A and B are shown apart, each in its own frame.
Chain A
Amino acid sequence: QRLKAAVHYTVGCLCQEVGEDKDVQFSKQSIAAISEITFRQCETFARDLEMFARHAKRSTINTEDVKLLARRSSSLLKYITQKSDELASSNMEQKEKKKKKSSAAKGERTGEKEAAVAENEDYNMS
């Protein structure tokens, strides 16, 4: 529930930004629906990421696994690959110790953004 609440809050913030940008308003119910979809999509992502890593005989999920989540759309894949490259190069500049930490966090964040993108799509459809 705590996790759901955090997702709901963040989705609300994102929707507000999109709303300001596109000059539309989201009803509370549509934000709730997007949150729930995001929450559930994370489950799907997590499962897939785990499987992709295992398929490559790894137990640690890396950015290549995250890219596989975006394989169905070349636009999305390009976007995720760009982000991943950006993160990788900015990580290079940092210390070796820090590098490890942020690359672990990176996977999560990329997935989250992608979820938000996918959710917007879903919303547009309904």
Chain B
Amino acid sequence: ERRSSSLQHKSALFPCVTGQKQTSSHENWSLSPEEYETWDRLYRIKEGDGIKEPVLPQTRFATLENLEEIPEQEQGAAQELSLWEWSLWQSRPFPTALVGHSEPCHHFIRVMEMMEQMRQEQGDCSYGRELQPHLRVEDVNIPRNKRHLHVANS
């Protein structure tokens, strides 16, 4: 029932569509009292709703010092949005509405597809086998023992 009522009130959020009168109280960047009321009643997540506040995961680098702000204390009270939970769904493009898939997105899909194919493999790897004959020694840096450990630490 929430959903249907939110649809009804959708027009209240776009005063430009519904007429001039409502626009006048909405010169500010913030919500007008009416809009606040709508938001508070229909969309705002409250204690009794039984759902957690959605949060996005923070960027963490395993190999660099992290400068980003420390995540808030009450991690358990929030629902961290997962980007990997549905990874099995991600080996094909999802439908789009107005914005098409970007080039990086297509790369992502193809790599997920490739990983899906390799999931069954044991031991020897078809990817490596295919590329092996194309490797030229002059393209790669053979003695790179110390150099990259340093990179990982600094």
User: A interface vs B, CB < 8 Å?
Assistant: 1-6, 8-10, 13-14, 17-18, 21, 27-29, 31-33, 35-37, 40-41, 43-44, 47, 72-76, 78-79, 113, 117, 120-121, 124-126
Contact = CB atoms under 8 A, between A and B. Distances in A.
A33 B111 contact: yes
Given A2-B139, A10-B141, A32-B128, A79 B114 contact: no
Contacts of A113: 151
- Give the 6 A-B residue pairs with the shortest CB-CB distance, closest first: A28-B125, A32-B127, A6-B139, A5-B134, A40-B107, A5-B131
Contact of B84 (A9, A27, A35, A126): A126
Interface in B59-92: 59-68, 83-84, 87
Interface residues of B, number: 45
Contacts of A3: 139
Contacts of A43: 103, 107
B148 A17 contact: yes
A79 to B, nearest CB: 5
B106 to A, nearest CB: 9
Nearest to A86: B154
Contacts of B135: 2, 5-6, 8-9
Contacts of A76: 61, 64
A73 B148 contact: no
A41 B67 contact: no
24 contacts: A1-B131, A5-B136, A9-B139, A10-B140, A10-B144, A13-B148, A14-B148, A27-B125, A28-B128, A29-B115, A31-B125, A32-B118, A33-B114, A43-B107, A44-B107, A73-B59, A75-B59, A75-B61, A75-B67, A76-B61, A76-B64, A121-B62, A126-B84, A126-B87
A44 B128 contact: no
A13 B144 contact: yes
